[in-house]
Amino acid sequence: ETLTVELGERSYPIVIGEGLLQHAPKLLQEAGISSKSQLLIVTDEHVAKNYLEPLREVLATAGYRTTASVIAAGEQSKSLSVYDRIMTEAIQAGLDRKSAVLALGGGVVGDLAGFVAATYMRGIDFVQLPTTLLAHDSSVGGKVAINHPLGKNLIGAFHQPRVVIYDTSALHTLPKREVAAGFAEVVKHGLISDEAFVDWLKENADRLWELDSELLAKAIQRGCAVKAAIVSEDETEQGKRALLNLGHTFGHAFEALSAYSALNHGEAIAIGMCIAAKVAERVGIAEKGVCEQTERVLSLYHLPTKWPAGLTPEAVLEAMKRDKKTVGGKLALVLPRAIGHVELIKDIDEEIILTVMREEVEA
């Protein structure tokens, strides 16, 4: 299956299917990356174990020269020091303006490799080869970034890939905790704009959890389509794109305060979406049952919905204010009105947010 992210001359296809890595050379050529281009494959140690050599072989057979940068797995690698190391490897390998960076992995690899591609010689071609479910989100939309010790994704750029090659067979080696994290973003895309999709995710939760290939491809396709539609309307987040941040202002705070280790991104935003629903109920904009339904669909995918132990509401509020989604220090939050409908509410009273969080700690 193929869908297109419509961005004028920067439009690109997302190709989804089983066994696509075997067809990478053809898909690269169709995206305008010829076998004359040198390729830098960025991947992490877990992904490299299963998928790096087969990919290099199929690319070599088609005449591509490849260099690989293998990073340690985990959010810690989205750092200036790892960025610096990959840049050094790229320069030493002799990459030029016609070269391309291939991100083979999850969102960590995609964000980091994308930032390398965005900044190497002021920007070279970039291709996403997602290997996690969560990456259905991170590989679409062109936001690339690394973290600063003081905050997540604070150093970054917009750099769209030439093509996204989504080989769903890679998901079978993914640890279940990472599968759950990926479903958090899939559910998010439903909660933002598609009630029928949320119902479908509820009805088919068991088979999706077992990675039934047909249903999985459909879930990825639908999730990508929701994101692609919003990104097409608002590439650089002047307006509508902010809606994709449902659960993320809370979630980023949870992640930062747990030093990117106790909770992964998907778990953090799952809890964040539940708290956002509680705030929406408190300020009176949410339809009855929104909290309950949000918690229910997330629970079906084995995601946490309760306040993360050990964090205080006051610390979370401070971290939320440091998140770059604040405007002029005021908190703007994406809140659900109903399942499938969210809204960016600017200037929410901090006291309300604190009250809701304090109730959650006690619950």
Coil, strand or helix: which one is 300?
A: helix
252 is catalytic: yes
| Residue 65 designated active-site | no
Written as six digits, the tokens of 267 are 């778990």
The alpha carbon of 162 is separated from its chain's Cα centroid by a whole number of angstroms, namely 17
Tell me if 78 contacts ligand NAD by CB under 6 A.
yes
Q: How far is CA 136 from CA 44, 49, 266, 304, in A?
A: 18, 21, 12, 20
Element at 58 (helix H, strand E): helix 53-61
Binding of ligand NAD at residue 111 (CB under 6 A)? yes
Which residue is catalytic, options 245, 278, 295, 325?
245
Q: Which residues, in sequence order, are bridge partners of residue 327?
A: 330
Cα angle 228, 334, 224 (rounded to 5 degrees) comes to: 15
Task: Map the footprint of ligand NAD across residues 289-318, applying CB under 6 A.
Answer: none
Q: Which of 263/291 has CB closer to ligand NAD?
A: 263
Strands 125-130 and 100-105: parallel
Q: Is 241 labeled as catalytic in the residue annotation?
A: yes
Of positions 75, 89, 212, 234, contacts ligand NAD by CB under 6 A: 75
Which of 24, 109, 201, 271 is in the footprint of ligand NAD by CB under 6 A? 109
Identify which of residues 29 and 119 has a Cβ nearer to ligand NAD in the complex: 119
Residues 23-52 that bind ligand NAD (CB under 6 A): 44, 46-47
Any catalytic annotation for residue 237? yes
Q: Report if residue 241 touches ligand NAD, rule: CB under 6 A.
A: no
Q: Determine the Cα–Cα distance for residues 221 and 318; give it in Å rounded to an integer.
A: 36
User: Which residues, numbered 166-225, are part of the site for ligand NAD (CB under 6 A)?
Assistant: 170, 173-174, 178, 181
135 binds ligand NAD (CB under 6 A): yes
Q: Which is nearer to ligand NAD, 137 or 281 (CB)?
A: 137
Q: How far is the CB of 241 from ligand NAD (least distance, A)?
A: 10
- Assess whether 143 carries a catalytic annotation: yes
Name the one residue in this structure whose structure tokens are 């960016």: 344
Interface region with ligand NAD, contact rule CB under 6 A, candidates 61-69, 101-109, 316-324, 353-361:
101-109
Catalytic residue status for 358: no
The whole-angstrom separation of Cα 214 and Cα 136 is: 16
Tell me the closest approach of the beta carbon of residue 362 to ligand NAD, in angstroms.
30
Min dist. Cβ of residue 96 to ligand NAD (A): 26
Q: Is 296 a catalytic residue?
A: no
3-state secondary structure of 164: strand
- The amino acid at residue 303 is L
Total residues contacting ligand NAD by CB under 6 A comes to 28
Nearest one of 118, 121, 125 to 39, comparing CA atoms: 125
- Residue among 136, 143, 159, 241 that touches ligand NAD (CB under 6 A): 143
For residue 97, indicate whether it is catalytic. no
Q: What is the CA radius of gyration of the chain?
A: 20
Q: Does the annotation mark 26 as catalytic?
A: no
Helix 213-233 × helix 195-203 angle, to 10°:
160
The 3-class SS string of 223-249 reads: HHHHHHHHHHHCCCCCCHHHHHHCCHH
Choice from 38, 99, 128, 138 touching ligand NAD (CB under 6 A) = 138
The answer to whether 246 contacts ligand NAD (rule: CB under 6 A) is: no
**Binds ligand NAD (CB under 6 A): choice among 3, 58, 73, 157:** 73
The single residue among 125, 137, 167, 295 that binds ligand NAD, judged by CB under 6 A, is 137
Helices (H) and strands (E) in the chain, counts: 15, 11
Q: Among 78, 189, 252, 278, which one carries the catalytic annotation?
A: 252
Residues contacting 170, CB < 8 A, separation 6+: 21, 47, 50, 51, 131
Catalytic residue IDs: 122, 143, 185, 227, 237, 241, 245, 248, 252, 265
